[in-house]
Every structure is written in C-alpha cells, then in structure tokens.
Amino acid sequence: MNRKLKKINGKVVIITGASSGIGKALAFEFADNGALVVLAARRENELKKVEAEIKSRGGEAYAVKTDVKNIDDCKDLVDKTIEKYGKIDVLINNAGISMRANFEDLDLSVIKELMDTNFYGAVYCTKYALPYLLEQKGTLIAISSISGLAPLPGRTGYCASKYAIDGFFNTLRLENIKKGLNVLVVHPGFTSSNIRKTALNKLGLPQIETPRDEDKMMPSKEVARIIVKATLNRKRDLILTLQGKLTVWLYKNFPGMTDRIILHEMAKEPDSPF
C-alpha cells in the first residue's frame, strides 16, 4: 500500500457510475489503497466485473445495481452500504451522461435525461448519505466538469447539469461547514473514457463514435489518482488538465475572446455544426 495514502485504509467509499470511465478508475484507486468500495451503476454485469477484479487484487468491493435517476435505488444504495459496513466516509457522485447536438435541433427529452442523471441523481444519493457522512465528518465529492465553469457549444444539457452541480454542492458546503463535512467539487477537462461514445444525439440515441481524439486526453487513471489524493487532503475544488485551467482562467477574465476560442476548437470536430 502507498504509505502516503494509509489514512484511506478502512474508509467506506460509495462511487456512482463505477462500471466504466472515471468511476471505474476511482474504484480501483481507492480499493488499492485499502478502502472498502461500494460500486453503483446500472450495468450490473460490468459492475460485477469491476467487483471481481478488485477482489482478485486483494481489495474489498460490494456491487449494488443502481439507477441514480430512481430515488428508491439511491436510498437502497445507502441502506445496503450501512447494512454491510455500518458507515459511509466518502460519497462520490460520478454517474453521468453527455450529449452532442445544437439545442435548436434537440428533442427536449435529452435535456431531461441529462438533468435526471447528472444532477438529480447526485441530489438523491447525497440526501440519503448525508446523515452518515456528517457522523463521520466525511467527504462528499461531486464530479462536475470544466463545462460547469465555461460554456461548451453543442452540449447545452450537459453544461446545464454541471452548472447545477456546482451551485448545489458549493452551497451544501456552506450549510455544513461547521459540522466537519468536506465537500470537493472536481472539474475534469477532456478525459479518456466512454462518455463521448455513450453521449446522446439530438434524438436521445447514443452517438457511438467519439468526435475527439481520446489518446490526447488525460487518462481516467490519472484523474482518479489526483482525486484520491485530494480526498485525503480534504481539498474543496479541483480543476484538471492544463487546457482546462487555461480555459477557466481565460473565460473568467476575457469571456468574449474565450467564446471565440471555444467555438473555433469545437468546430474542428467531425460533423460539427459550427
């Protein structure tokens, strides 16, 4: 075990969206450092594979099939965690989907799907886990995005859900600041994962093919490593990738110029409408 991360040993960590991408990488990273990891996702077969691999590496994992859009599933996830481990030290609201289409062409059901999954899913899980997190003076983590701090054309629903995440969790931090709860909001930049392949098109169907070069993005494993260390150090905010940090700074200080830069960059995507 990495000596720097010994304080994670024995912590109970719930991770939503744990069957792939950043969630899966977080599951391995926390488990490798001694955490008792509760895995939540809709795809039970993939979830069981992650559980089995963690156990084969000597870690402890517990898979609970969960659709975060379903409020009862979120309650069941927390109840089963308490039943098995008796506490919750960390909740990571990672489950999420993306989209790619101009709002003008978009079926409104896509916006609802993204808000139900990305925002309300995090709200539901947090509501039921919060009393146990407060008992442990634990850490509540929300995986937002650079798109929660700066606009991204063709992703109105995605940006809306991530802006909502930022507002909700930053306010929740203030409400509980005297109770010992740590709230960490993570803003990954472009990360190599399957989120663009499963992103919804204008009709609400998975686009299948990623429009960007995944090899040039930050690996999910690296994102997970940074998040685990930030959890240990009780950080409140992370902005990941140099491009992401530069985008946020430019948008804050030179919004008009940054609008043009973002639009120019997104116009390079295959079949871009810009």
Give, for 274, the enclosing helix (H) or strand (E): none
Which tokens in the block code for residue 225?
């490593």
Give, for 75, the enclosing helix (H) or strand (E): helix 71-85
Active-site choice (128, 158, 163, 251): 158
Distance CA 185, CA 235 (A): 9
DSSP codes, 160-218: HHHHHHHHHHHHHHHHTGGGT-EEEEEE--SEESSTTTS-B-TTS-B--S-SS-GGGSE
Partners of 239 in the β-ladder: 187
Give the C-alpha distances (Å, rounded to integers) separating 225 from 26, 129, 152, 231: 7, 24, 26, 10
Alpha carbon 8 to chain centroid, angstroms:
20
DSSP codes, 231-243: HHTT-SEEE-SHH
Distance CA 88, CA 95 (A): 18
Distance CA 5, CA 231 (A): 10
Annotation marks residue 120 as catalytic: no
Distance CA 69, CA 80 (A): 18
Q: What is the dihedral of CA 69, 72, 73, 74, to 10 degrees?
A: 80
Catalytic sites, residue numbers:
158
